[in-house]
Chain A
Amino acid sequence: MSEPLNRVTIITRREKTEELRQALVELGVNGITVTMVEGCGVQHAVVRYFRGVKAEMRLLPKVMFEMVISDIPVESVVKVARDVLYTGNIGDGKIFVEEELAVYKVRTDEEGKNAL
């Protein structure tokens, strides 16, 4: 199979889930998997004070979006995601891009690009 299949994984703030989903659907992404995850970035922890008591949160609640795309350029997904997710604050998230070798659609037995 010669057409490229790319997996884009976006990890970001949970409150952005609905906005990001809508933006991706508008772009024409067919099929997204959303997982609620916990994670930490470069700062490894956030220190907060609850009623004067210091509480260190090491893993913060995040949302992970995964999608595999073929026709849609990776660059346009990255642009849409950045437009929606950018706040300039720590915790905006990260976008990962990987290569996918094959995709199969179970119901119709289609492969590759057609499966998407």
Chain B
Amino acid sequence: MSSQMTKITIITRREKFEELRVALLEIGVQGMTLTEVEGCGVQHGLELQIRGVKKQVHLLPKIKLEIVVSTVPVEAVIKAAKDVLRTGKIGDGKIFVSEIKEVIRVRTGERNEEALTNNGE
């Protein structure tokens, strides 16, 4: 199978998940993995003031959404994610693209593109 498979990892605000999930399903993404993570970007965290007490928070709560696509164009996923996630404020997140060498569906043993699509089931 020569089809190329790509993993797209989106790291963004936790409250955006539902909107992002719907947007990705609309463009035909089947399957995603969500992890609650902590992280920091260029500002290395922020200073919060809780009841007058300053507190340095280094790692902020974020979500990491991982998707592997083959038939759905990567560009479409990136565009959909950008449209949903952009607020213009710091903390909108990042999108990472990397190559996947092989995918195997455990239940059926299908590989690659077939393992990522759901044909008439």
Q: Which residues of A contact B (CB under 8 A)?
A: 7, 18, 21, 25, 30-35, 68, 98-107, 109, 115
Contacts and interface: CB of A to CB of B under 8 A. Distances in A.
A107 B86 contact: yes
Given A34-B59, A104-B94, A104-B95, A109 B82 contact: yes
Nearest to B81: A106
Contact of B40 (A18, A31, A99, A105): A31
Nearest to B88: A107
Contacts, number: 76
Contacts of B59: 21, 32, 34
Contacts of B81: 106
Contact of B97 (A25, A102, A105): A102
A103 B99 contact: no
Nearest to A5: B96
Contacts of B95: 102-104, 106
Contacts of B94: 31, 68, 103-106, 115
13 contacts: A7-B96, A21-B59, A31-B40, A35-B38, A100-B96, A103-B96, A104-B82, A104-B94, A106-B85, A107-B87, A107-B88, A107-B91, A107-B92
B90 interface: yes
Interface in B64-121: 64, 78, 81-82, 85-99
Nearest to A65: B39
Contacts of A104: 78, 82, 94-95, 97
B6 A107 contact: no
Contacts of A31: 39-42, 94
A103 B82 CA distance: 12
Nearest to A102: B97
Given A31-B41, A33-B37, 18 more contacts: A21-B40, A30-B42, A31-B39, A31-B42, A33-B11, A33-B38, A33-B64, A34-B38, A34-B59, A35-B37, A35-B38, A68-B94, A99-B98, A101-B99, A103-B97, A104-B97, A107-B92, A115-B94
A70 to B, nearest CB: 12
B88 A34 contact: no
